[in-house]
Amino acid sequence: MARGNPAVSNRFSGGVAREAVAQRYATARTFIRTAGFVGAIYILQGFFLQIAGHDTAVALNLSFLGDMKLVGSFALGGGGCAWAAVERALRHRKVEALQGRIRELETAIDPNRSSSGLTPKGKANPKDKTS
């Protein structure tokens, strides 16, 4: 950079010049992205035109993949429901096993303590259910 030439030094010393360079790079990046996108569409267009209207292995593979996704979805859903049912049963069993000790500790602290009315398994009192 020449120190004696004020036009050159002013051009690079200000933020306006840097902003212009940054803007050019941003425009170039946008152009490259757009050109890549358009190129990919052009290349894929040829592929889709060749297989259009034909019963190909691609269609069969896509159909098989769709069926596998459906089977996998049902398997995961069913497995999740089964896991939840087992966890619920285990939780009720654990509450029933611990409820005697908890009741002893509560009555030791306050003998006049009233019950919440829950069943030994921790479920709501059947008398509380509305019809």
- Condensed to tens digits (0 to 9), the pLDDT of residues 77-104 reads 999 999 999 999 999 899 888 888 888 8
Percent of the chain at pLDDT exceeding 90 = 24
pLDDT in tens, 37-73: 999 998 888 887 877 766 666 666 677 777 888 888 9
- Given its phi and psi angles, is residue 108 left (phi above 0), alpha (psi -120 to 50 degrees) or beta? alpha
Are residues 51 and 58 in contact, defined by beta-carbon separation less than 8 angstroms?
yes
